Amino acid sequence: MNAYYYKFRIRPIGDRGAGGHLVWFPDLPGVDAVGTDVAEVVGRAYDRAGEWLSRALKGGYSISSPP
């Protein structure tokens, strides 16, 4: 099995992150997470990315490797 590394983006919500943080994967449509703790929200986003990739593969969708 190949290992792929998808890049994520992170953006503070509110004034200097006072409202938390948003993490998303530009190459995986609809995969994002929001939370107050940066480490927690990044972990949650990676969990969701794994779920998304698993469902896509089980559904027979072709997944391109990250750029």
Q: What is the pTM of this model?
A: 0.81
Percent of the chain's residues with pLDDT above 90? 60
Number of structural domains in the chain: 1
Q: Find all residues with CB under 8 Å of 10, minimum gap 6, and list them.
A: 21, 22, 23, 38, 41, 42
Are residues 27 and 7 in contact, defined by beta-carbon separation less than 8 angstroms? Answer: yes
Amino acid at 32: D
Position 43 confidence tier, pLDDT thresholds 50, 70, 90: very high
- Tell me whether residue 42 is in a domain: yes
Percent of the chain's residues with pLDDT above 70? 94
pLDDT of amino acid 21: 94
Alpha carbon distance, N-terminus to C-terminus of the chain: 18
- Tell me whether residue 2 is in a domain: no
Residue-range definition of the domain harbouring residue 27: 20-58
- Tell me whether residue 1 is in a domain: no
CA distances from 65 to 3, 10, 27, 29, 52 (A): 9, 21, 9, 14, 14
